[in-house]
Amino acid sequence: MVNRLFGICYQLMKREKIPARELAERYEVSVRTIYRDVEMLSMAGVPVFASKGRGGGISLMEHCVIDKMFVNEDEKAQILAALESLRETAPSDNTELLQKLGDFFQTSGSNWVSIDFSDWSGRQEMLFSLLKKAILQSRVIAFDYYSADGKMEHRIAEPIQLCFKSHNWYLRAWCRNRQDMRTFKVLRIKRPEILDESFSSRRICGRNAEPAPAEQDDKKTSACPGLTTVILEIEGSQAYRIYDSFGEEEIFPEENGDFLIRTAYSIDDWVYGVILSYCPYIKVHEPVWLREKLHHILQKSAEKI
């Protein structure tokens, strides 16, 4: 009944007047039931009324919209903006929902922000949809996973959450192979399938838990993974890149025109790539182990070239 009442309201938002018989046929009930529904809606405070005779039907009072009963203008804008920002993650689902809410609110989103997760288009879209379905339905998944060192292992996992962090998508899941929480880099998940098995929902430690470094995805997912303070010195000729890559509070101009950068990273291959992309205009001051790691990477590259 609740769904029918909601549906009647939605239809009346789109059309000025609908014959009771048409609504009865749509929801497969009698005309008498539709009139009872109208009475119930009216008693609940919805300004709906029925007119009989030729040209009669069920109508809402002019300018009646649901936001006047439940949400204010700011809340309405926030709801539409939030759904608009998620359009890329589930375009088919959110497009229909946005249309319905737009009809209810008698407005459309302001389009003040556009978010494009282009990695999920084409080849990756099916993977995203599969993982989303498994998470929402609490279904166990199986997949082949490639670790940072290139080793492949078949995994069975209970997927809990998708997370976008540091230019990459991650899957948080309970790994049955390791009997512990793990964070998997989605790009390394191959040949995934949803198994005919459900699981009880688990909680992630910390609402804002961040993904573990990509090279450490075989280790336990921590609610507060340690960040490493990194101090860099970059030549002034790279200023146009520096202000694109670092926050103003992390940049300290020097008298000679160079820049001292003090930032914090969860170290992974992406970080190595960012730092090395500044070669030969960069010097790593701290930590020492990171400098040695980068030297090792450069030496191996030189040997192969």
Residue pair 168/273 in contact (Cβ under 8 Å)? The answer is no
Q: What is the CA radius of gyration of the chain?
A: 28
Q: What is the mean pLDDT of residues 68-83?
A: 61
Residue 262 pLDDT class (50, 70, 90 cuts): very high
Report angle CA 235, 236, 238 to the nearest 5 degrees.
80
Non-local CB neighbours of 41 within 8 Å, separated by 6+ positions: 5, 8, 9, 48
Q: What is the dihedral of CA 107, 110, 116, 120, to 10 degrees?
A: -10
What top-level class would CATH report for the domain 228-304? alpha beta
pLDDT of residue 111: 56
Helix, strand counts (H, E) of the chain: 10, 12
pTM recorded for the entire structure: 0.49
Contacts of 284 (CB under 8 A, 6+ apart): 230, 231, 232, 275, 290, 291, 294
pLDDT higher than 80, residue 250? yes
Residue 101 scores a pLDDT above 90: no
279: Cα within 13 Å, side-chain hemisphere: 11
| Model pLDDT, residue 221 | 42
Mean pLDDT, residues 123-135: 84
3-class secondary structure, 19:
coil
Q: Locate the DSSP E strands across the chain.
A: 17-18, 48-51, 57-60, 139-146, 152-165, 168-175, 180-185, 189-198, 228-234, 251-253, 259-265, 282-286
- Residue 39: per-residue pLDDT: 86
pLDDT tens-digit readout, 183-213: 998 888 999 999 999 998 765 554 444 444 4
Average pLDDT over residues 112-140: 75
Mean pLDDT of the chain: 78
Residue with more model confidence, 71 or 214: 71
What is the CATH T-level fold of the domain 138-216, as seen in this structure?
Answer: SH3 type barrels. (2.30.30)
pLDDT of amino acid 123: 63
Q: Is 286 a residue whose pLDDT tops 70?
A: yes
CATH class of the domain comprising 2-60? mainly alpha
Give me the mean pLDDT over the 36-59 stretch: 81
